[in-house]
Amino acid sequence: MFTLLGRLAVVDGGGRAIMVRAAKQQAVLAVLILRPGEVVTIDRLISELWQDEPPATAKASVQTYVYRLRRALSPLAADGVDLATVGNGYTLIVPDGVVDVRVFETAVAKGADALTEGEAGSAVKPLREALAVWRGPVAPEIDVELVRDERRRLDEVHLTARELCAEAELRLGHHNRVIPELERLVEAHPFREASWAMLLQALADRGRRAEALAAYRRLRDILNSELGIEPADALRRRHQEILRSGSVLVME
β-bridge mates for residue 138, sequence order: 5
What does the alpha-carbon distance between residue 113 and residue 121 come to, in Å, rounded to a whole number? 12
Q: What is the pLDDT of residue 251?
A: 39
Q: What is the pLDDT of residue 245?
A: 63
Q: pLDDT for 128-147, tens place per residue?
A: 999 999 999 999 999 999 99
Q: pLDDT for 51-85, tens place per residue?
A: 888 999 999 999 999 999 999 999 999 889 999 99
Identify which of 117, 37, 143 has the alpha carbon closest to the alpha carbon of residue 83.
Answer: 37
Q: pLDDT for 157-170, tens place per residue?
A: 999 999 999 999 99
Burial class, 183, CB count within 10 angstroms (exposed 0-12 / middle 13-18 / buried 19+): middle
Contacts by residues 33-38 (CB-CB < 8 Å, ≥ 24 positions apart): 33/2, 33/4, 33/92, 33/94, 33/99, 33/101, 34/4, 34/101, 34/138, 34/146, 34/147, 34/150, 35/92, 35/146, 36/92, 36/93, 36/94, 36/99, 36/102, 37/91, 37/92, 37/93, 37/94, 38/91
Identify which of 153, 111, 147 has the alpha carbon closest to the alpha carbon of residue 132.
Answer: 111
Domains, the chain, ordered by start:
2-93 (1.10.10.10), 189-252 (no CATH)
Q: pLDDT for 194-227, tens place per residue?
A: 999 999 999 999 999 999 999 999 999 999 999 9
Q: What is the pLDDT of residue 51?
A: 85
Q: What is the pLDDT of residue 228?
A: 96
**What percent of the chain shows pLDDT beyond 90?**
88
pLDDT band at 1 (very low <50, low <70, confident <90, very high): confident
- Residue 118's alpha-carbon distances to 7, 104, 112, 171, 233, in angstroms, are 35, 21, 10, 9, 25
CA 187 vs. chain centroid, Å, equals 18
β-bridge mates for residue 83, sequence order: 92
Contact, 212 vs 203, CB < 8 A?
A: yes
**70 sits in which H/E element:** helix 58-73
pTM of the model: 0.90
What does the alpha-carbon distance between residue 90 and residue 41 come to, in Å, rounded to a whole number? 6
Per-residue DSSP letter, 249: P
Q: What is the pLDDT of residue 60?
A: 97
The residue type found at 25 is Q
pLDDT band at 248 (very low <50, low <70, confident <90, very high): very low
Task: Give me the chain's average pLDDT, please.
Answer: 94
